[in-house]
Amino acid sequence: MATSSRKTSPASALASKRTLPGDPSSEAPSKRKSLALPLPLPSSGPFVEGSIVRIAMENFLTYDICEVCPGPHLNMIIGANGTGKSSIVCAICLGLAGKPAFMGRADKAGFFVKRGCSKGMVEIELFRTSGNLVITREIDVTKSQSFWFINKKATTQKVVEEQVAALNIQVGNLCQFLPQDKVGEFAKLSKIELLEATEKSIGPPEMHRYHCELKNFREKEKQLETSCKEKTEYLDKMIQRNKRYEQDVERFYERKRHLDLIEMLEAKRPWVEYENVRQEYEEVKLARDRVKDEVRKLKDGQIPITDRIEEIETQRHNLEARIKAKATDIKETSQKCKQKQDVIERKDKHIEEIQQALTVKQNEEHDRQRRISNTRKMIDDLQNELRTTENCVNLQPQIDAITNDLRRVQDEKGLCESEIVDKHKERETLEKEKKGVNDQIVQFDNLLNQKEFKLRQRYRDTYDAVLWLRSNKDKFKQGVYEPIMLTINMKDNKNAKYIENHIPSNDLRAFVFESQEDMEVFLKEVRDNKKLRVNAVIAPRNSYAERAPSRPLSELKQYGFFSYLRELFDAPAPVMSYLCSQYHIHEVPVGTERTRERIERVIQETRLKQMYTAEEKYVVKTSFYSNKVISSNTSLKVAQFLTVTVDLEQRRHLEEHLKEINRKLQAVDSGLIALRETNKQLDHKDNELRQKKKELLERKAKKRQLEQKISSKLGSLKLMEQDACNLEEEERKASTRIKEINVQKAKLVTELTNLIKICTSLHIQKVDLILQNTTVISEKNKLESDYMAASSQLRLKEQQFIELDESRQRLLQKCKELMRRARQVCNLGAEQTVPREYQTAFQDLPNTLDEIDALLAEERSRASCFTGLNPTVVEEYTKREEEIEQLTEELKIKKVELDKYRESISQVKERWLNPLKELVEKINEKFSNFFSSMQCAGEVDLHTENEEDYDKYGIRIRVKFRSSTQLHELTPNHQSGGERSVSTMLYLMALQELNRCPFRVVDEINQGMDPTNERRVFEMVVNTACKENTSQYFFITPKLLQSLPYSEKMTVLVVYNGPHMLEPKRWNLKAFLRRRRRITFTQPSQ
C-alpha cells in the first residue's frame, strides 16, 4: 500500500490493489500488494505545463490496480525495498512512450506485465492549460504489442511521442529522468553526452538544433576544405605534367610526318614491283613457246631408230633360248660327274676310317698295359701301410670311457636347460603380471590427469598454482592440500552433481591450509609475485570431519533419503573438516525421486534446512515476521569436475604389489645368470669330450679303410688283365678291307672320265652361240646409244620447257598477289582504279625499287630518331587540357560554397555559443553554491580542445570533497559511489530552477551517501524543488534519516506491502488520525 499526504491536506481519494478473478496471485495472500493514495491537500501553487496529475496502473509489475496522484512540487515516494516504488517510475517511462531498455530491466514491454496476466495497462494524465492530456498504453503480452490512446481515442505511438515532445518531456534524458538502474550511468556520461543532455533538458529549443547544425556545417566545411585542397593539388600536378609533355607532343607530330611519307612509299612500292614482275612474265612466256617447237622436232627424229631396235631385240631372244638349252645339258652332265666324284670320296673316307680304328685299338692296348703296372704299384704301397697300422694298441676301452663321460655331461646339461626354461616361464609370468599392474596404475593416473585437464581448461591460474605447489612443498611447515576438486574422490560418480551444486566453484578450486602462516606465504608467492588468481581457505583448528549429524540417517530413510553428503565421497581430514564446518555436508541428506514425491511432508515433518532429491535442491527458511515456512527449489546442474572417481587406497596397494613383482624379477634374473654360466661350462666340457672321441674313432676307422682300398684295387687289376686285345689279327682284317675298296674305286674313275668328255663338247657349242648373241647385242647397244643421246637432248628441252612453264605460272601468281597487295595497300576493290590523289602523290615519288627502298630507309632512319614517343601521350595531353579547364571551374564553385558555409557557421555559432556560455555559467554558479554550502568545492565549465570542433564540446564537472585535495573531474573511477551520487544530485538540482522540463524523476540516488551528505542534499532538494514556478520533482528512496526538514508544498507517498492490507474502500485517513491521537493521549496514563 502507498499513502500520499501533504501537510496541508485533510483528505484524499483512495485507490489500492485488488485481486482479479482467475489471477494466480489470489492464492498467495502473503505476496499481495496494494497502493493507497490519499488525495493531497490543496496545492499552494499550480501545476506547470506538462506536469503529471495522475498515474494509473493495472496488472503492471507488482500492482493489480493502482492510481497515484502526485503533487505539483516535490513528491517523496518512500517504502521498503521490493514494495513497488520503482514500478511507479517504470510506469511513467513506458506510459510516456519511453523505451523499455532504458529502464535497464527488460527490453520488451511485455516483461513489465504482472506475471500470470496476459494484459497490462498504464495511464498518465498530464496537466495542460487547454485541457489535461490523458495518455493510455495497453500492453498485450500474447501479441507482443502495445495499443495507444489519447483522451480515450485510439492513436499511434508516433503521435504520442510527438505530443510528449511538444511538452518538452524527455524520458530518455538522464538529466530529466534518472531511474534506479541508470544512476551509476550518469557519472559515466562523457562530457559531450552531458552537454547534449543538458541542452535538451534546460536549454532553449533552438540551442540543441543550433549545435547539431554547427556540427553538420563543420563536417561539411572540413569536407569542402579537403576537397578544395585535393583539387588544387591535383590541378597543379596536371599543369606541371602537361608542361613536361609539350616538347614530346611536338616531336610526335614531326615523327608523324615522316611516317606518313613512309606510308605513301610503302603504298607505291607494290605497284612498281608488280610492273617489274609483269614484264618478266612476258619474256618468260616467249622463251617457253620457242622451246616447245624444238621438243616437237626431236620427238619426230626418234621414230626410225625405235623400229630397228625392235627387230634386233627379236633376234637376240632366239639366240638366248638356244644358249639356255645348251646350259641345261651341261648342267645335267656336270651333275652326273659330281655324283661319281662323291662316291669316290666316300670310298677314300671309308679307307681312312678303317685305318683310324686300327690306330685306336693299338693306343688302347698300350694304355691298358700302363694302368696295370700303376695298379700293382698302388697295391704294394697300401699293403705296406696296412702292416704298419696293425702294430697300434686296441682303442675301444678309451672310446667307451669317453662315451660314458659324455652321457653324464649331457644329463647335467639337460637338467640345467630345464631349470633355465622354468626360470624363463616364471619371468614371463611376472612380466605379464607387472604389465597388468602398470596398466591399472596408468588408468588411475589417466583419471587423475582427466581431473587436472579439466582444471587447467577451466581455471588455468589454479592449475599453474598446483604445479608450483608440487615443486615447492618444502616451503610450508604444515599440511597444504591441492584444490578441493582434486582431493575429493567420489565413491560413485553419479552423485557428483550433489557435491558440485552444494559447494560453490570458488571453493572447489580453493587450496586448503592448516596454518595461516603457510597460506600467507602461498598467496604472496602466487598472487603477488606470479599474478595468479587463486582461492585459499584454512581448515578449522578443531576437526569437524568426524562430527555426527544431528539426526541419524535411519530416521530419514522412511522419506527416501539414502545418505548424507559427507558419506558420498572421500577426502583428506582437513578438507573434510572445512567442508563440514563451512557447508554442513554432514547435516544435508540426499534423497531419491521418492523424496520429491512427498516433499511437502518431508519439509513439514523433518524441519531440514537443506536437502536434495534425485534432480533438485530444496532450501527451507522460516519467515522472521510471520513464522511461516518458505521453501524454494532449484534444478541440479550437471556435474563437470567430480565425475572422475579414483580409488587412492587401491592405487597404493597396486604400487606395493608392483614393488614385490620387481623384487621377484631381480631374484629370477640372478638365478638365470648363474644357470647360464653353469650351462656354458657344461657346453665347453661336452665339446672337449666329443673332440677326443672323434680322434679315437678316426684312428680306429683308418685300418678298415685301407683293407677296403686294397680289395678294390685287386678287383680292378683282375678286370684289366682279362680285357686283352690281338693286334696282329686286327691289322690283317684291316688290310683285306682296304684292297676291296680300291677295286671299286678304279671302276668309278673310268666312268667319270667318259662324262667329262661329253661335258667339254657341250661347252664348245654354247660358246659359239654366245659369240653370235654378242654381235647382235653390240649392234643393239649402238642403236640404243644413239636413241639415248637423242632422248637426253629431248629431256633437256622438255625440262627447260617445264621450268619455263613453272616460272611463267609462278610469275603469273606473283603478279596476281602483287596486284592484290597493291590494291589492299591503297584500300581498293577488285574493280576500282587507283584514286587521283594516289596517282598525284606517286608522280612525285621515285619510279624504281632501288630509289624507293633508299628513300624508305632514309625516312625510317629519321623516324627512328624519335624514340620513346607513345601515341597515348598526345591523347592524355589533350584530355588533361580539358580536365584542367573543368577542374578550374569546379574549384571556383567549391571555394564559393566553402565561403558560404563559413559565413553560416559564424552566424549559427554566435547564436549558439553565447547563450550556451551564459547557461553553463548559471549552472556553475548554482552548482558551486550548493557545494560551498556543504564545505566542499565544485565547478562546471564548457570544455573543448579546439574551438572549431563543435562535436568535441562538452560540459566538465570538477569536484573536491576534501580541502587537502585539488579539483578532479567527475569520473566513474576517481570518486567513491557516495561522492558520485552527491555530485549527480547537486548537478540535477542546479538544473532545477533553469529547467524547461515539466518534471524530473530521481530514483534512489541517496543510497551511497553518508548520513551527513544525505541530510545536506535532502535540505537542498526540499528548498529547491519547493520554490514557486519550479517544475515537478519525484524523489524515490527506500529510507530517510530522522529529523529531516520538510516543506508544506511537499507530497509524501508511502508504499506499503504485506498480506494483511486493507481493502481500498475501507481506507479512511481521518479515522486513522483519530485513532493515532487516542493512542497518543492514553499512553502517558499507562
The residues with which 139 forms a beta bridge, in sequence order, are: 120, 146
Match 682279362 to its residue by C-alpha cell.
722
For residue range 603-641, list pLDDT tens digits in order. 888 888 899 998 899 988 887 766 778 888 888 888 887
- Burial profile 672-687: b = 16 or more Cβ within 10 angstroms, e = fewer: beebeeebeebeeebe
Q: Is 796 exposed, middle or buried (0-12, 13-18, 19+ CB in 10 A)?
A: middle
What cell numbers appear for 92 in the block? 511513467
What's the mean pLDDT in 326-332? Answer: 84
Mean pLDDT over each residue of the chain, to the nearest integer? 78
The residues with which 957 forms a beta bridge, in sequence order, are: 940
- SS3 category, 201: helix
Largest CA distance in the chain: 200
What cell numbers appear for 742 in the block? 680300291
Looking at residue 29, what is its pLDDT? 29
Looking at residue 648, what is its pLDDT? 57
pLDDT of 24 higher than 60? no
- Give how far Cα 439 sits from Cα of 425, 432, 444, 652, 666, Å: 21, 10, 9, 14, 21
Looking at residue 998, what is its pLDDT? 83
pLDDT of 990 higher than 80? no
Contact 1074, 21 (CB under 8 A): no
For residue range 821-847, list pLDDT tens digits in order. 777 777 676 676 777 777 777 777 777
Give dist(CA 841, CA 266) in Å, integer.
12
Looking at residue 278, what is its pLDDT? 82
Within 10 Å of residue 1050's Cβ, how many Cβ atoms?
A: 23
Element spanning 1022, H or E: helix 1011-1025
Angle, alpha carbons 564-568-569 (nearest 5°): 135
The residues with which 941 forms a beta bridge, in sequence order, are: 956
Which amino acid is it at 400? D
Looking at residue 27, what is its pLDDT? 31
For residue range 585-607, list pLDDT tens digits in order. 999 999 998 888 888 888 888 88
Looking at residue 611, what is its pLDDT? 92
pLDDT of 224 higher than 60? yes
Give dist(CA 281, CA 272) in Å, integer.
14
Contact 1006, 1044 (CB under 8 A): no
Contact 811, 280 (CB under 8 A): yes
pLDDT of 39 higher than 60? no
Looking at residue 389, what is its pLDDT? 64
What's the mean pLDDT in 790-819? Answer: 83
pLDDT of 849 higher than 80? no
Looking at residue 992, what is its pLDDT? 60
Looking at residue 13, what is its pLDDT? 30
Res. 576 pLDDT band, cuts 50 70 90: very high
For residue range 705-720, list pLDDT tens digits in order. 777 777 887 877 777 7
Q: What is the DSSP string of 75-95?
A: EEEE--TTSSHHHHHHHHHHH
Please tell me the pTM assigned to this model.
0.38
Q: Which residues contact 677 (CB under 8 A, 6 or more apart)?
A: none
- SS3 category, 422: helix
Give dist(CA 382, CA 374) in Å, integer.
13
What's the mean pLDDT in 81-104? Answer: 82
pLDDT of 197 higher than 90? no
Q: How far is CA 7 from the centre of its chain?
A: 72
- SS3 category, 881: helix
Within 10 Å of residue 990's Cβ, how many Cβ atoms?
A: 27
Q: Which has more confidence, 55 or 440?
A: 55
Length of the chain in terms of residues written: 1086
Contact 38, 16 (CB under 8 A): no
Contact 70, 43 (CB under 8 A): no
Res. 17 pLDDT band, cuts 50 70 90: very low
Looking at residue 455, what is its pLDDT? 81
What's the mean pLDDT in 760-775? Answer: 83
Q: Which has more confidence, 1019 or 503?
A: 503
Contact 30, 626 (CB under 8 A): yes
pLDDT of 994 higher than 70? no
Within 10 Å of residue 913's Cβ, how many Cβ atoms?
A: 17
Res. 121 pLDDT band, cuts 50 70 90: very high
Looking at residue 656, what is its pLDDT? 80
Q: What is the DSSP string of 363-413?
A: HHHHHHHHHHHHHHHHHHHHHHHHHHHTTSPP-HHHHHHHHHHHHHHHHHH
Looking at residue 7, what is its pLDDT? 36
pLDDT of 816 higher than 60? yes
Give dist(CA 603, CA 766) in Å, integer.
154
Looking at residue 185, what is its pLDDT? 60
DSSP category for residue 275 = H
What's the mean pLDDT in 60-85? Answer: 84
Q: How far is CA 973 from the centre of its chain?
A: 39
Contact 156, 148 (CB under 8 A): yes
pLDDT of 14 higher than 50? no
